[in-house]
Structure 1
Amino acid sequence: MPSNSMPNARSRAAPSDSSCRTMVSVAGAPAACCILLSSLMVILQFLVVAAAFAVIDAIWLKTMNPFYRGQIGELLAERPNLGYAVVFYVTYIAGIVFFACVPRSTASARSCGWSGSALPGRRAR
């Protein structure tokens, strides 16, 4: 067999011995890597949705405050209860991520993200 055949061909820059090459074998790394990337993706989606929601909600509450005070002022508390607000917003944003973002990123093109939504009967068509 000639020395320039493809299976035995070596670049002139490559060393002749294998002392500088390291073989790494990691068992189970692809599954762990996918789980980690999936978890990081969900966290990133949560943070992006939370940032967008915070900006939109801050603008809405700032501009509509006079209207709310004029229409339902007697029902509003003097100071908002931030504990309830945090629980509501975290739950609401988690719902957006669970029902809209996660199914969209993991579903096949045919299901179009309806797998985790509140309308699973739409997939039956």
Structure 2
Amino acid sequence: MDEAAVTSEFNFLKSSMETTYKGLSYREMLETVITKFADITPSLHRLASIALTLPLSTADCERGFSAIGRIKTKLRNRLSEKILQCLTFISVEGPDLNHFDFSAAADIWASKKTRRINLD
């Protein structure tokens, strides 16, 4: 990225942001750069896009590591990476167990293919 281009784009955008968009939060300013000034400030558009993807805290990462610690125990140490990833995603993003319909999930699972289930 060209430093001179970023500096000139920033100086142009700074005056506009100070007058027209005063009072916006950091996130709102970045979204404004992405949506309204993308054609005029391509370098800042790219930097704003990157900044919006960076996490502002480590809470999500820590939540994921805690979920992996709960899932991958000594008895379940041979889980494949794909299964571990799926179970972690369900643990972090999935529904609360109090609101999960186990009967419906079992019906969907059973309907996917013919299964030989011995209920005796």
Give the TM-score taking structure 2 as reference length.
Answer: 0.29
Whichever of the two has the greater Rg, that structure is 1
Q: Say which structure is richer in helix.
A: 2
Give the TM-score taking structure 1 as reference length.
Answer: 0.28
